[in-house]
Structure 1
Amino acid sequence: MQFRIGHGYDVHQLSAGYELSLGGIKIPHTVGSMGHSDADVLLHAICDAMLGALSLGDIGKHFKNTDPQWKGMDSKHFLARVNEMIGERGYSVGNIDSTLILEEPKIGPYIPEMKRVIAECLGLEPDAVSVKATTSETMGFVGRKEGLQAHAVCILYKKGA
């Protein structure tokens, strides 16, 4: 196939004592994402979209949260490695479309830097990476500020096709 489409989803609990990493950057906030790595919900969703497009499982299959080597790991490492994996199979990322769902902080001012960092990890131009944000209108665990979630979609294309 010349094109493959993947969807990714991730969720993390928010808690005091953790940093908030989103889209490969640290965002100042009173709480952060809990997780084995840096718990970057956006990069994890993008990794899952890319892996899913080639039916390679999910991020947990490749970077187990029980493996001490990934403790505190910067998720940009995961994104770069997943990009290598798809390249080894003859594919490249065409574009990424992603959505963060969280009540706070407002991340609009951080989106250009997130796009730049993600694009750099994937060898893309920033306009091939879309990062959007919304709230859950105060409903559910996101609305209660207990966690955050992200969705991502990507298209991969066969190199040389």
Structure 2
Amino acid sequence: MKIRVGQGYDVHRQGKGEELWLGGIKFEHTHGLIGHSDADVLIHAICDAILGAANMRDIGFHFADTDPQYKGIDSKILLKDVMELVRKEGWELGNIDCTIVAEKPKINPHIPAMKNCLADVMSVDEDDISIKATTSERMGFVGREEGMAVHAVALIQKA
């Protein structure tokens, strides 16, 4: 059996009054994330991890932030498209492991809903998705609440 591992990392700036989408779920919060799409930093890191594992470049290569068709797009659509791309090449997801780095809001209460949403979009079992959350102990751009970051690792295998 052939397996591969990919790593994804994404950051987005925070802005007052912006919507906050993480893992396909809308959070109620005073600050959201700024981006060309809906700025779902979790989904973007997952896409990069999966694409990287399949040696298919990154999310920006497939869905350029200069392309007007992706302006404001729901990142769940991008994730679904990524899964179709890698499946066409004969790959299937083994699992993903993600860490969201954010000071606020509290992420842990929303993890079950995010896992459920992502599993549905990706057509995988919730058990194949691990989401963790941490802060940066008030250090750096995350600590100053200027942005959020996500680290993701994906394991894929030939179907």
- Which range, TM-score by smaller chain? over 0.9
Q: TM-score, normalised by structure 1?
A: 0.97
* Partner Cα separation in structure 2 for residue 119 and residue 71 of structure 1: 24
* Partner Cα separation in structure 2 for residue 95 and residue 120 of structure 1: 14
Which runs of 5 or more residues in structure 2 are unaligned?
Answer: none
Fraction of identical pairs, as percent: 56
Letter in 2 for 1:120: D
* Partner Cα separation in structure 1 for residue 95 and residue 53 of structure 2: 12
Equivalent positions of 1:21-32 (< 5 A) are: 21-32=21-32
Which range is displaced more, 26-35 or 119-128?
119-128
**Correspondence for 1:74:** 74
Shift of 1:18: 1.1
Which range is displaced more, 117-126 or 26-35?
117-126
* Partner Cα separation in structure 2 for residue 127 and residue 22 of structure 1: 18
RMSD over aligned Cα atoms: 0.8
**Number of residue pairs aligned between Structure 1 and Structure 2:** 159
* Partner Cα separation in structure 2 for residue 27 and residue 10 of structure 1: 18
| Ranges of 4+ aligned residues in structure 1 off by more than 4 Å | none
**Correspondence for 1:139:** 139
* Partner Cα separation in structure 2 for residue 93 and residue 136 of structure 1: 29
Q: C-alpha deviations, 1:123-142, integer Å up to 9, x for none? A: 11111100000000000000
Letter in 1 for 2:121: C
Q: TM-score, normalised by structure 2?
A: 0.98
Shift of 1:144: 0.2
Letter in 1 for 2:73: M
Shift of 1:17: 2.6
Equivalent positions of 1:141-156 (< 5 A) are: 141-156=141-156
Which runs of 5 or more residues in structure 1 are unaligned?
Answer: none
* Partner Cα separation in structure 1 for residue 122 and residue 76 of structure 2: 10
